[in-house]
Amino acid sequence: MYNSITTSSPSSIQRVRDRERERDIHTQIYRYISNIFVHSFAFLQRHKFDQV
């Protein structure tokens, strides 16, 4: 019983770490894309005002 718990523990911890890393990557990608959208939108607005 005790042995099975100790042997299964590292793999589950590793799984949790992998999931956290995956979530971090997704958060970074989301931030990167939203930054691009914000910058391009601001650029378009500025460009539109320049034309007028």
* DSSP character string of 1-19: -HHHHHHHHHHHHHHHHHH
Angle at 41 (CA atoms; ends 36, 43), nearest 5 degrees: 95
**Lowest-pLDDT choice from 3-7, 9-13, 45-49:** 3-7
Query: pTM score, two decimals?
Result: 0.51
Distance CA 37, CA 18 (A): 29
Distance CA 7, CA 25 (A): 28
Give the model confidence (pLDDT) of 29-51 as tens digits.
999 999 999 999 998 888 877 76
Q: What single letter denotes the amino acid at residue 37?
A: F
The mean pLDDT of 1-28, rounded to a whole number, is 79
pLDDT at residue number 25: 94
Cα dihedral 3→7→13→15 (10° resolution): -140
